[in-house]
Amino acid sequence: MSDLLLDTDAASILFKPEHALNQKCAAATLGHRLPISFMTRAELPFWPRGNKWGRNRADLLTGDIAAFTTLLPDDETCVRRADVVAESTASGHPIGSADAGIVGVLPAVGTSGHR
């Protein structure tokens, strides 16, 4: 079984059965472990707070999040994230902080992110 690192958008689609891409995403993730980065883990709890969800819906999201393994940063991840931000900025295509955090954990799941 291989790891398939989910970003915030992909995790969100899997949480919403009514989403137009839910079935395709569910099929694409079948048979994979689905870790999330620490940045995705930090972003997800904002939704109930930022959108004034009720307690029941917020509790459902908490349960959904608990199903994923969160890849936590270490010193190497932090340096890799800094490299990604510096390189993308120097190339004229700066990457956002959250996306850089996700890219920083890619080696932890055995991929460079290139397919």
Count of domains observed in the chain: 1
CB 96 within 8 A of CB 40: no
Residue with tokens 């397919």: 115
69 SS3 class: coil
pTM equals 0.69
Per-residue model confidence as pLDDT tens digits over 94-105:
887 777 767 766
Count other C-beta atoms under 10 Å from residue 28's C-beta: 13
Per-residue model confidence as pLDDT tens digits over 14-47:
989 999 999 999 999 999 999 998 888 888 989 9
Per-residue model confidence as pLDDT tens digits over 5-16:
888 888 999 989
According to DSSP, residue 38 is labeled H
Give the HSE-up count for residue 51: Cα atoms under 13 Å, Cβ half-sphere: 12
* CATH number of the domain within which 89 lies: 3.40.50.1010
Q: Is residue 114 in some structural domain?
A: no
Q: Is residue 115 in some structural domain?
A: no
Distance CA 98, CA 67 (A): 21
CB 18 within 8 A of CB 80: no
| Residue 86 belongs to domain spanning | 2-109
